[in-house]
Amino acid sequence: MSNKKRRYIGVGLPYHDTGELQGTLIVIEGTDGVGRSTQIEDIKGWLEVKGYGVVTTGWTRSPLMVKAIDEAKSGHTLNVNTYSLLYAADFADRLENHIIPALKAGFVVLADRYVYTAFARATVRGTSREWIRGVFGFALEPDAIFYMKIKINDLIPRVINTETMAKRYWTEQSGEGMDYWESGMDLRLGDDFYDSFVEYQKRVLTEFDLMAKEYSFKIVDAAKSFDETNRILKEGIEKILSDG
Amino acid sequence: MPRTFDAPHPFPGRLIIVEGIDGSGKSTQLQLLQRWLLTRKYRVLFTEWNSSALVNDTIKRGKKKNILTPTTFSILHATDFADRLMHLIIPPLKAGMIVLADRYIFTAFARDVVRGVHRDWVRDLYGFSVRPDMAFYFRVPIDVALKRILSGRTALKYHEAGMDLGLSADPAQSFTMFQSRILEEYERIAEEYGLTVINATLSIQKQQSIMREAVMESLKNYRPAPFLKKEGNIYVE
């Protein structure tokens, strides 16, 4: 793969030289429950068979922050700023200690969500678009962003089904059938989880759709079957990797 | 929600902050100011730039695993500040009180830039903060600050000497190098934000009288009543 000069979303990290990052950063974006993680798992195996070194990275999985975020979330005392900043710290940790080293070593990095998720969630919670983009100004620009786009009507059965709800309520013992945060319950947008979910996700989807233009997302119709969506994603990724 | 820092805050209270390097005497001055305000029957809330357990534990974990970076360090402190702002600063401002803050976001601007983050970025990061009504900067030469700190105790603290930056193995030398860079940033900030500069080599009484005069002037239109009704974004009687 050729040596790409990396760019940042904003002012960047003054203490990192980005000239030497040779891998490829591919982002899969989309709202909660759209099926990103399952796709990424499959694509990772597919790329490895082709001989690519692949690492995946996902939201709030940073070793530094996972405990603090879990604690803060279970306390339900976050406001829009602390909520956004905890995510920013999580992202910075993964970027500097995981994504950048992997790109230096020539890996394909598959990111399950990226800064755009943070932008959508913060904006829906009332923060300024300008502020949240500035906070994440240290983020690398990805080589490609695939946006798994879905309408609210198609999203609902992905979230409200026996398997998902039973897993959350019984297996994970969360006491919830739908997720508190994915339903935007901190915003109290409806009387119950369902009403709030519908209103919250509508707003999140609107933000994603606006960003699709702003950041040139490659739109993938996620309402289609797993196999069909999978095929389209693989075609797109193959193209990015061969264009190198 | 716009970037609140860019405009004066809409609350009836007043936010008065002090900044300066360790040993500049700012905390002493703020305590004297608090005394004076209290005797004048003002309702005062005092707050410090301390970190919560959540952030301290996270930073400790990050250091132990050696994964903490200038950026995560900076964001963690901003998170903590956002929490204090919501819980400790905004309620008294809404209630019409005078909030005295020993250090404010300019501490982060100076320290985090010295640690390596981008000047514009850290300013963006804190865009959610409340703009102070008065901001004092206590300007002091490094050697005076060092002498003051060591007159009270025998050793410098690890962090005030910036020992974690590995500038020098000698704490006094490291202090001088680290705090000089902080000082440089403070000078830039004082100019950029029009902080009220106090010559911190003057006598304690002299500094305090300058400070009280400036505060009295800024409290001219201040009405300490709690305002409970909101018209748009402005609190009214």
Ordered DSSP codes for B78-102 = HHHHHHHIIIIIHHHHHTTPEEEEE
The string of pLDDT tens digits covering residues A124-157 is 999 999 999 999 999 999 999 999 999 999 999 8
**At A2, is the pLDDT very low, low, confident or very high (cuts 50, 70, 90)?**
very low
CA distance A57 to B114: 30
Looking at every residue in chain A, the average pLDDT score rounds to 91
Complex ipTM over 0.95: no
Disruptive mutation site among A135, A136, A140, A187 for chain B (greatest number of B CBs within 10 Å): A135
Between residues 75 and 134 of chain B, which touch chain A (CB distance below 8 Å)?
75-76, 78-79, 82-83, 85-86, 116-118, 120-121, 124-125, 127-128
CA distance B134 to B86: 20
Do B71 and A92 contact (CB within 8 A), yes or no? yes
Please give the full DSSP string across B104-171, using - where no structure is assigned. Answer: -HHHHHHHHHHTT--HHHHHHHTTTSPPPSEEEEEE--HHHHHHHHHHH-SS--TTTTTGGGTS-SSH
| Beta pairing partners, B47 | B101
Q: Is A64 on the interface with B (CB under 8 A)?
A: yes
Sheet holding B98-102, edge to edge: B44-48, B98-102, B14-19, B134-139, B196-199
More confident residue, A4 or A32: A32
Which positions ≥6 away from A25 have C-beta within 8 Å? A99, A103, A109, A111, A140, A142, A143
The SS3 call for residue A50 is coil
Between residues 118 and 157 of chain A, which touch chain B (CB distance below 8 Å)?
126-128, 130-131, 134-135, 137-138
pLDDT, residue A69, reads: 83
CB contacts, 8 Å: B6 with chain A:
none
Q: Is B56 on the interface with A (CB under 8 A)?
A: no
Q: Say if the Cβ atoms of B1 and A86 lie within 8 Å.
A: no
Q: Which amino acid is at A93?
A: D
Do A143 and A26 contact (CB within 8 A), yes or no? yes
Question: Token digits for B23?
Answer: 């040993």
Does the residue B99 lie in any domain? yes
Over range A190-199, report the average pLDDT: 90
pLDDT, residue B106, reads: 98
Q: Is A74 on the interface with B (CB under 8 A)?
A: no
CA distance A194 to A186: 13
Length of chain B: 237
Q: For residue A132, count CB atoms less than 10 angstroms from its CB and return exposed for 0-12, middle for 13-18, buried for 19 or more.
A: buried
Over range A19-36, report the average pLDDT: 92
Does the residue B229 lie in any domain? no
The minimal CB distance from A89 to the residues B76, B117, B120 is found for: B76
Q: Chunked in runs of 10, what are the mean pLDDT values of chain B (237 residues)? A: 79 94 93 95 90 82 88 94 89 89 97 95 96 97 88 80 85 90 96 96 96 95 71 65
The SS3 call for residue A68 is helix
Q: Say if the Cβ atoms of B82 and A82 lie within 8 Å.
A: yes
Q: Say if the Cβ atoms of A64 and B120 lie within 8 Å.
A: no
Q: Say if the Cβ atoms of B1 and A13 lie within 8 Å.
A: no
Residue A12 has pLDDT above 50, yes or no: yes
pLDDT, residue A61, reads: 79
Q: H or E segment at A69?
A: helix A66-75
Residue A182 has pLDDT above 60, yes or no: yes
Topology (CATH level 3) of domain A18-154+216-243: Rossmann fold (3.40.50)
Number of independent structural domains in chain B? 1
Nearest to A224 by CA among A141, A121, A154: A154
Does the residue B230 lie in any domain? no
Q: For residue A34, count CB atoms less than 10 angstroms from its CB and return exposed for 0-12, middle for 13-18, buried for 19 or more.
A: buried
First to last CA, chain B: 24
Q: Where are the domains of chain A?
A: 18-154+216-243
Phi-psi label, residue A30: left if phi above 0, alpha if psi -120 to 50, beta otherwise: left
The minimal CB distance from A131 to the residues B71, B85, B128 is found for: B128
Does the residue B226 lie in any domain? no
Do B134 and B218 contact (CB within 8 A), yes or no? yes
Per the listing, tokens 């709800």 go with: A165
CA distance A60 to A66: 6
Q: Give the chain B residue nearest A83 (alpha carbons).
A: B79
The string of pLDDT tens digits covering residues A37-56 is 999 999 999 999 999 999 99
Strand bridging mode B234-236 / B229-231: antiparallel
Query: Domain range holding B97?
Result: 14-218
Residue A172 has pLDDT above 90, yes or no: no
The SS3 call for residue B219 is coil
The minimal CB distance from B75 to the residues A71, A72, A85 is found for: A85
pLDDT, residue B12, reads: 87
Q: Is A71 on the interface with B (CB under 8 A)?
A: yes
Do A109 and A25 contact (CB within 8 A), yes or no? yes
The domain that contains B164 carries what CATH number?
A: 3.40.50.300
Do A146 and A29 contact (CB within 8 A), yes or no? yes
CB contacts, 8 Å: B51 with chain A:
none
Q: Give the chain A residue nearest B72 (alpha carbons).
A: A89
Q: What is the pTM of this model?
A: 0.84
Nearest to A202 by CA among A150, A162, A137, A160: A150
pLDDT, residue A244, reads: 62
Q: Say if the Cβ atoms of B69 and A89 lie within 8 Å.
A: no
CA distance A49 to A35: 22
CB contacts, 8 Å: A135 with chain B:
75, 124-125
Does the residue B162 lie in any domain? yes
CA distance A11 to A8: 7
Q: Say if the Cβ atoms of A64 and B72 lie within 8 Å.
A: yes
Q: Is A174 on the interface with B (CB under 8 A)?
A: no
Q: What's the gap between Cα A137 and its chain centre? A: 16
CB contacts, 8 Å: A11 with chain B:
118, 120-121, 124
Q: Give the chain B residue nearest A92 (alpha carbons).
A: B72
Over range A93-117, report the average pLDDT: 96
